Amino acid sequence: MEIGTHTRFCGVIGNPVEHSLSPAIHNAAFRSLGIDCVYLAWKVERIGDAIRGLRALGNFRGASVTIPHKVSAMPFLDEIEPTAGRIGAINTIVAEEGRLIGYNTDATGALRALRDGGVALAGRRIVMLGSGGAARAIAFALAAESGAEKLVILGVDDAERTALADDLRSKTAFPVDDDTLDESTLRRVVPEAHVLIHCTPLGMFPKADTSCVPASLLHAGLAVMDIVYNPKVTRLLTDARRAGCLTIPGLEMFLHQAVAQFELWTNRQAPVDVMRAVLESHFT
């Protein structure tokens, strides 16, 4: 399909975005359904200026929002969907009749990835590493639907981590603890955990050979999900497989949250098989 004056556009807003596979999967999905839309990647530091610029462009349909803007983008939108409002972070913007509306598809994407991967959540002790926008979404999704025994949040940003823990305590009845993400804390909490969810950028391409979890702490019976999807198998997942853990790659969460985004922008059922095939092709 030729790009013309009526072509609409979407894109990913973040920093960095060089690693993003969002353009590949969304453009393939648009083509497969014959939708006159293109998807771009925008490296953005000044989020308010970027959103004001996109607002001024008539063919703008929506955006994915990634690190580090999932929280900071919210004040620049006209409306926040209620679930995203409770989470306190967005990952999706939809332009509707001149208004910009924020959504969060990370939450449903993460739960779908965990459940499809065979991870039992009810009655389990869950440790989450990181406290940014994606961690917020996953934590609130766990609080709403998992039936877990307890969530322990570990993060290096004290203010961000305690804000998330306090929000969960005030808005839900979910038992939550929080502490500093360092080796001594990991040695205390990981041996007793059933599920470990990694939500920091550590291990992302190009710094792929890094992990914040010592391999010696990983144990059979622990399920490990890393939301980093590039590389497909991170250092953490490699270590977890060697330890006999059930592992869930970030590709699964990434796919499911992208499917939900596509459907918000197009009001069409996403071609999931096409999107999955494009993702898999980048790692063969």
Q: Which residues are catalytic?
A: 70
Q: What is the DSSP string of 2-13?
A: ---TT-EEEEEE
Nearest CA-CA partner of 244 in 228, 215, 222, 226: 222
Nearest CA-CA partner of 60 in 89, 98, 88, 102: 98
Residues in the chain: 284
Helices (H), 96-157: 106-116, 133-145
Q: Dihedrals φ, ψ of 197, to 5°?
A: -120, 120
Q: Please tell me what DSSP assigns to residue 65.
A: E
Give the distance, in angstroms, between the CA of residue 181 and the centroid of all CA atoms in the same chain: 19
For residue 206, say if its preceding peptide bond is cis, omega within 30 degrees of 0.
Answer: yes
